Structure 1
Amino acid sequence: MPATVGPRRRADAERNIARVVSAARESLSSDPNASIDDIAKAAGVGRMTLYGHFRTRAELVEAALADALRAGEEALSAVDLSGDAQDALTRLLDSSWSLVAESTALLTAAQGTLPAGRIRKLHAAPARRVEELIRRGQDEGVFRTDMPIAWLVSVVHYVLQGAAEENRTKRLKTAEAARVVTATVRSILATPHRALEDRGSTIL
């Protein structure tokens, strides 16, 4: 009997942790200011149980953000980014914007709690994917090269986060979001001469 107590307790603890992190993701996505009490109630556990796994609210916020980003990374890693860089960008943005909707609210919670360096580290993988795609588009001559690539990557994320916020506040319809995000980002990344050609064709 004693030999089974340890594994059983570990299994119970893992289930409780998963329940708390899931509740934190849901609660903070709805309200970035959700309290420990709110999250414990949503998870169906007591404060003591929650504090047994997460000593502070900051630890819990980080765990929720990391879990959301990990789930998003799994989804985005399955996106086909081969072939033409512009087409690959469209596929990536179509898959990205709705995932960002959740992480944007979590990011708001994290910004008031976690150091900026830690937040950047948690976002490193998504940023790296966008950077590699932009760099490839630059090599193909379809994305602009007159601005720092780090800035272009940041702008892409600003657009995604802005769309998520607009959607959350009902100013941007869900059905329109992917199209708006893609059109905005492609116009920003387009080489200046291509942007002028696209503008001219639109006017004609």
Structure 2
Amino acid sequence: MAAPSARSRRRADAERNIARIVSAARASLSSDPNTTTDDIAQAAGVGRMTLYGHFRTRADLVEAALMDALRAGDETLSSLDLTGDAHEAMTRLLASSWEIVAESAALLTAAETVLPAGRVRELHAEPARRMAELIRRGQEQGVFRADLPTPWLVSLVHYILHGAASEVRAGRLPSHGASDMVTKSVQSVLTG
């Protein structure tokens, strides 16, 4: 039986390997949604057996990378000041959200190809909740339209953000100014 310090060292090594693999997967998949697990293992500096020892399938690895990106995004978005006028708060939220979405668009594409659609939506529950609360507040303040249901407006914002990111990645929309276009488009939808 291994000594407690040897087990602790192995556990610490495993945790470092997992962190390196997830970080490499997030970076690699954010550049190319078709990045192979072999490429990710190489970028992480681990062997295939080590990668598959922690992530049995590509879907498991992609989900871990997406969860890591969502955690980082949530840290950024939860620190935003969304108080006061809902229209101005929405502008701040959209600017920060755009940066996160633009960075993770390819990763989301990878996730949508290997994860069930319901799982991708589940993982986005917190950003959707934050957006819904702000839209409801804007409706109560009379600055956002109230003739459409809040869940539908949240979906429209989601589609605009991710659609713009796809257009930038495809080269059909310039990256400079995209944030402003997203904000104008969303505010137009929300104010009717």
Q: Same fold (TM over 0.5)?
A: yes
Could you list the per-position Cα deviations for residues 101-123 of structure 1 after superposition, in whole angstroms to 9, with x for gaps in the alignment? Answer: 23321111111111111111100
Matches within 5 A, 1:1-204: 2-190=3-191, 192=192
Measure the CA separation in 1 of the matches of 2:51 and 2:117.
Answer: 25
Measure the CA separation in 2 of the matches of 1:162 and 1:114.
Answer: 19
The unaligned stretches of length 5 or more in structure 2 are none
Measure the CA separation in 2 of the matches of 1:9 and 1:169.
Answer: 43
Measure the CA separation in 1 of the matches of 2:153 and 2:104.
Answer: 20
Name the aligned partner's letter for residue 105 of structure 1: A
Name the aligned partner's letter for residue 84 of structure 1: D
Measure the CA separation in 1 of the matches of 2:138 and 2:109.
Answer: 31
Measure the CA separation in 1 of the matches of 2:89 and 2:118.
Answer: 29
The alignment partner of 1:81 has SS state of coil
The RMSD of aligned alpha carbons is: 1.3
Contact map agreement 1:101 1:164 (CA 8 A) in 2: yes
Measure the CA separation in 2 of the matches of 1:57 and 1:178.
Answer: 32
Q: Which has the larger radius of gyration?
A: 1
Name the aligned partner's letter for residue 188 of structure 2: S
Contact map agreement 1:69 1:103 (CA 8 A) in 2: no
Measure the CA separation in 2 of the matches of 1:169 and 1:116.
Answer: 23
Between the two proteins, what is the percent identity of the paired residues? 68
Contact map agreement 1:98 1:164 (CA 8 A) in 2: no
The alignment partner of 2:79 has SS state of coil
Measure the CA separation in 2 of the matches of 1:101 and 1:137.
Answer: 25
Name the aligned partner's letter for residue 160 of structure 1: L
Name the aligned partner's letter for residue 89 of structure 1: M
Moved more, 69-78 or 173-182: 173-182
Moved more, 107-116 or 124-133: 107-116
Measure the CA separation in 1 of the matches of 2:121 and 2:180.
Answer: 27
How far did residue 78 of structure 1 move? 0.6
After superposing on structure 2, the runs of 4+ consecutive aligned residues of structure 1 that deviate more than 4 Å are none
The alignment partner of 2:81 has SS state of coil
How many residues align structurally? 191
The unaligned stretches of length 5 or more in structure 1 are 193-204
Name the aligned partner's letter for residue 117 of structure 1: G
Normalising by structure 2, we get a TM-score of 0.95
